[in-house]
Structure formats: C-alpha cells, structure tokens
Amino acid sequence: MSKIVAILGRPNVGKSTFFNRLVGERRAIVDDVSGVTRDRHYGVSEWIGKEFVVVDTGGYVANSSDYFETEIRKQVEIAIAEADLLLFMVDVTVGVTDEDESFARVLRKSSKPVLMVANKVDNFDRAVDAAVFYKLGFKELFTVSSMSGSGTGELLDRVMELLPSEEETPEAEELPKFAILGRPNVGKSTLLNVLIGEERNIVSPIPGTTRDTIHTHYNKFGKEFLLIDTAGLRKKGKVTDNIEFYSVMRAIKAMEEADVTILVIDAKDGMESQDTNIFALAEKRHKGIVILVNKWDLIEKDGKTMEAFQKVIDEKIAPFTDVPVLYVSALEKTRIFKAVEIALEVYENRKKRIPTHELNETMLKIIEGYPPPSVKGKFLKIKYVTQVQSKTPGFAFFCNHPQYIRESYKRFLENKLRENFDFKGVPLSLFFRKK
C-alpha cells in the first residue's frame, strides 16, 4: 500500500529544510528567496523502523499570474490528490498570512488527513505564539524547528499512526505484481498491449494518454502475474501542463504496490534524471528492478552501440549495477517476452532465502581470505552471518566491532553475496551487529 506524505505550504516557510531533515540528505535547495523549489523532490524517510515516501512541494501562491507560481500551484494540487497524508507548514515568526488562509481553504476541501506544522519554533515564547494557527480550522497542530529538529519526533509519531500499517494490509498468497514505470511517451502502454495481445490501453504519440493506473491480469504460456501500467495524466484540465509530475506521483504509488518495477526508458533519449530518480527510489524501497531500453529499433547501431549504452546506464545507476538491462522494441515485439521471464526471475530472487550453513561456509571463507581492514588499532573479526527474517533479502553479519566496518568493505561483501547466490535485480540490506 502506498505511504506518501506531502509537505505543503506557502513560499519560504521551511518546507525544503524540513524535507532534507526527514530524508537525511541535502536533496532540496534551501534559500531565503521564495519560489526556489520548482522541481519536486522525492525521498524515503524512516521512523521507528517504518519507511514512507516524502514529497517536497513548491510554495503555493493563490491567484498569481506568474508562470512559475502558476505551475507550482498546479503541481501542489496534484500532490494533494495523490498523497496519503498532508503536512501543512506555516511560519510562527510571521504568523497567519492571507496566503496561509487561502491555502487552508484549499486543504479543507480535500478528504485527506491534514497535520498543521508550525515551523521555526525554537523557544517557549514561539511555542505559545503558534496557537494562533488554530484559527485556520485544523484540529492538530505540531510545533517544530526544521533547523534544529526539535518537535520532529512527536510529529513523526503521529504520522506513523495515520499512515496505513503493514498489519492493516496483510499479504496473502498473491500473484507477482510488476509495475511498468517510465517517463511519458516511452512506450509503457504499447508494451502492455503487446504482452496481453489486445488494445487494452489507448496508445498515442501524445504524452499523457494514459489517465489512471491500470491493473491487468496476465495468464499466458504458463506464466501468471499482474501488470500495473502507470498513468501520465488524470482527466483534469488543470493538470495538463504537469504530465511529468503527475506521472512520477502515479509511478510512486504503483511502485509501493509492486514487487518488481519495470523501468522503461527511451533509447533515443537515454537514461534521464527522472529515470535515475525513480530507479533510486525503487532501490530504497527494496523493489526488484528491470530496465527496458525501448525503441531500440530506431537506433543506428554498430558492434559497440549496446556496450556504450550499457556503460552509460551503469554509470548513472552505480553503485547498484547488478540489474538486468534488456534492449527491446515494443512496436516490433522484440525481446518483450524475454523481459517477462527476466522480471519473474527477479521476483524469485527477491523472495530467495539462503540456508545459514551455506551462507557461513561461503562467506566466512571469503572473509578469511580478505578480512576487514583494522581501524584505530582494532582488528575486526566477522564470526557469523545469517539471513534476517524480512520480505526482502537482508543479511546480518556478527562481529566484534560493527561500528568500524567501512562502507567499501560493506560493498565488497554485497558483491560477494551477489556473485555466489544470484540476487540480480534485487537491492540487498546488510546489517552489522555485535556478537
């Protein structure tokens, strides 16, 4: 089930600073000038062992004729429609503004749960001043400081209560779910139509033809699974200029539901920034990944074309490069059914469990031959390894000083796990614990 939290509000209230704190990275540009955030930022946040997707939006300015503010306003409206929970951020140092009141009216029309977040509250007096925001009509008000992080824990506790939990959506024995992701007009619907053998989806060279996420049951040639085709644009005139943003929002929701993400890129354009963003999000969400380079029939080729293309993709998705990449043509039906076979293999890899004795026989021998480098005069010894109980592959390494295991050595161990046990297309989680 999707778990998407959108941070909303007028310009310059600290939304991007708060986003950076939640995802633990300086992903969004932060500046005192209003309107800095124009492109949307997506990241994964974790609290008490649970993860959710965070969307940072631009500042909402009602009734503005400025081109960028108009586009931001449309994208904010899309975020409201697609998110599961809305954080309405205001600035306690300024108080209630006309823009806050205008935006509050917009949020009250939404059926989504809204938490009001008064930012820049870093002392007792400001905490008292924050009470004025109750006049905006929302029941729950939290005071935080994006800069120092104070108040964030209480807010996130409430966020966790409001988001759907894993226990509410138990997984029965279900069919594998494959989400077809990609930028508008890369051939996602054509691919789906070829697979199911009928014109189920409207196919057009106009970006945004697909209006909603579509689930299709595939049951042919002894293979059965669900295909999820992601949307480019909903039937709302006000979002016609925001196809790219809407496509990403729908892709995130489809990804949350899927076991394997089939990322379709256009061979003519190559792997663009939006593709790498979706790839990174799928990796962080521990989804299986298959990359399809579509429209390969339109590329002039020589003996080194594919090798050069693969090198560029590897550079953009590094360090997680153990991902199947297929060069296909949905229109010509080239290697399409091979893509299905590979996606099913990745699905099985994601469920794979390695017996503990087999893990130790293999990995401890490798570790003995190439032990972790000593740190601060301390010799590091890994004594035992086991696969943890989780829905996706994770491995616990027990050692004497887990805090000193370097990132490069973690990558070495991951590579050895992949070499010996075939987890192609599946992100791995490695944990180091005190023995």
pLDDT tens per residue, range 357-399: 999 999 999 999 999 998 888 899 999 999 999 889 999 999 9
Label the pairing between strands 41-47 and 50-56: antiparallel
Those residues with Cβ within 8 angstroms of residue 87's Cβ, 6 or more apart along the chain or in another chain:
5, 6, 7, 8, 114, 115, 117, 155, 159
- Residues linked to residue 399 through DSSP beta bridges, in sequence order: 382, 434
| Selection from 118, 119, 149, 146 nearest residue 131 by Cα | 118
pLDDT at residue 38 in the model: 39
Looking at per-residue pLDDT, the higher value among 233 and 69 belongs to 69
pLDDT at residue 39 in the model: 45
pLDDT above 60: residue 239? no
- Measure the CA–CA gap between 139 and 133, rounded to whole angstroms: 10
Those residues with Cβ within 8 angstroms of residue 153's Cβ, 6 or more apart along the chain or in another chain:
none
% of the chain with per-residue pLDDT over 70? 81
Provide the residue type at 17 as one letter.
T
For range 21-36, the mean pLDDT: 54
pLDDT above 90: residue 405? yes
For range 83-97, the mean pLDDT: 95
In this structure, what are the phi and psi dihedrals at residue 34, rounded to the nearest 5 degrees?
Answer: -70, 150
pLDDT above 90: residue 238? no
110-126 per-position pLDDT tens digit:
889 999 999 999 999 99
- Angle at the Cα of 250 (from 248 to 252), degrees rounded to 5? 70
pLDDT above 50: residue 236? no
- Angle at the Cα of 408 (from 405 to 412), degrees rounded to 5? 95
- Measure the CA–CA gap between 79 and 86, rounded to whole angstroms: 9
Minimum mean pLDDT among 26-30, 150-154, 253-257, 340-344: which range?
26-30
Label the pairing between strands 223-229 and 288-294: unpaired
pLDDT above 90: residue 170? no
pLDDT at residue 230 in the model: 61
pLDDT at residue 218 in the model: 80
Confidence of residue 341 (pLDDT cuts 50, 70, 90): very high
Confidence of residue 56 (pLDDT cuts 50, 70, 90): confident
Looking at per-residue pLDDT, the higher value among 266 and 40 belongs to 266
- Which range of 39-53, 104-118, 241-255 scores highest in mean pLDDT? It is 104-118
In this structure, what are the phi and psi dihedrals at residue 303, rounded to the nearest 5 degrees?
Answer: -65, -15
pLDDT at residue 244 in the model: 58
186: left (phi over 0), alpha (psi -120 to 50) or beta: alpha
Whether the model pTM is above 0.85: no
pLDDT above 50: residue 232? no
% of the chain with per-residue pLDDT over 90? 54
Other Cβ atoms closer than 10 A to 300: 5
Mean confidence (pLDDT) of the chain: 83
Confidence of residue 182 (pLDDT cuts 50, 70, 90): confident
305-336 per-position pLDDT tens digit:
999 999 999 999 999 999 999 999 998 999 99
pLDDT above 70: residue 46? yes
294-304 per-position pLDDT tens digit:
999 999 988 89
Looking at per-residue pLDDT, the higher value among 142 and 190 belongs to 142
194-227 per-position pLDDT tens digit:
887 754 443 444 444 443 455 677 877 788 888 8
Q: Could you tell me the two tokens for 327? A: 């060069």
Spatial strand order of the sheet with 394-399 comes to: 382-387, 394-399, 429-434
Other Cβ atoms closer than 10 A to 324: 17
pLDDT at residue 172 in the model: 38
Q: Could you tell me the two tokens for 31? A: 């500046």
Confidence of residue 78 (pLDDT cuts 50, 70, 90): confident
Torsion of CA 94, 96, 100, 104, to 10 degrees: 150
Q: Could you tell me the two tokens for 395? A: 């491995």
pLDDT at residue 63 in the model: 64
pLDDT at residue 201 in the model: 43
pLDDT at residue 132 in the model: 96
